[in-house]
Amino acid sequence: MIEASCHCGAVRMAIDTPPEEVTACDCSICRKLGVLWAYYAPQQVRLTAAPDATLVYLWNRMALEFHTCRTCGCTTHWAHVDRTYHRMAVNARLMEPAVPAATRVRELSNSG
């Protein structure tokens, strides 16, 4: 099982399978956050966090929620506003370093 947590531990995620690849996205927000995204179906990710544990920044025509730990400032994941959307992303930098280090990195050029 793969675990990811922010620095202070207020936000934790558990996933049964390691990512097949991680994405380094160069869009306007991702390059500033310095994140590596591991994409999953929302039902694959077990999120443990108090309801108010994260700050939510709505982006991409208000369709995506970028979640950041309110206590330690780590960006933890994004989720679609529409909870039926098939995809979310976990910040792979919150996993044990060996996990993203062993995973192919896809460079995504969005420049948006």
> What is the contact surface with Zn ion in residues (CB under 5 A)?
6, 8, 10, 69, 71-72
* DSSP SS3 for 83: coil
| Beta carbon of residue 13, minimum distance to Zn ion (angstroms, whole number) | 12
Listed residue (58, 94, 53, 51) closest to 70, CA to CA:
53
Cα–Cα distance, 21 to 65 (Å, whole number): 22
Q: Which is nearer to Zn ion, 14 or 72 (CB)?
A: 72
| Beta carbon of residue 43, minimum distance to Zn ion (angstroms, whole number) | 24
User: What are φ and ψ of residue 34, in 5° steps?
Assistant: 70, 35
| Beta carbon of residue 57, minimum distance to Zn ion (angstroms, whole number) | 15
Q: Which is nearer to Zn ion, 9 or 112 (CB)?
A: 9
* DSSP SS3 for 103: coil
Q: Which is nearer to Zn ion, 69 or 79 (CB)?
A: 69
Cα–Cα distance, 76 to 72 (Å, whole number): 11
| Beta carbon of residue 68, minimum distance to Zn ion (angstroms, whole number) | 9
Q: Which is nearer to Zn ion, 34 or 112 (CB)?
A: 34
